[in-house]
Amino acid sequence: MDLDQTPQPGARPDDTADGLREQAAVCRRLAPTARTRAGTNALNALGDHFDERAGKLDPSSQRR
């Protein structure tokens, strides 16, 4: 497993472990402002998804 965080060709710039962790944190910050419970749950689930992807890219990265 390559632990440097160089994105693969065609990958978005945020597809690094740090970028994904930041996206997860943003989703969790937005979740309380959702208009519905379903929206809150969806944003929290998306945060979990980004954290899971980040953990696969770099298991030593820290959840924010």
The confidence score (pLDDT) of residue 2 equals 44
The answer to whether 31 and 25 have CB atoms below 8 angstroms apart is no
Closest among 45, 15, 13 to 28, alpha carbons compared: 45
Residues recorded for the chain: 64
Provide the mean pLDDT of the chain: 84
Please tell me which residue, 59 or 63, carries the higher pLDDT value: 59
pLDDT at residue 1 is higher than 50:
no
What would the pLDDT profile of 28-49 be if each residue is shown by its tens digit? Answer: 999 999 999 999 999 999 999 9
Is the separation of the CB atoms in 21 and 48 below 8 Å? Answer: no
Q: Are 19 and 27 in contact (CB under 8 A)?
A: no
> pLDDT-based confidence at 63, cuts 50/70/90?
low
Distance CA(7)–CA(62), nearest Å, equals 19
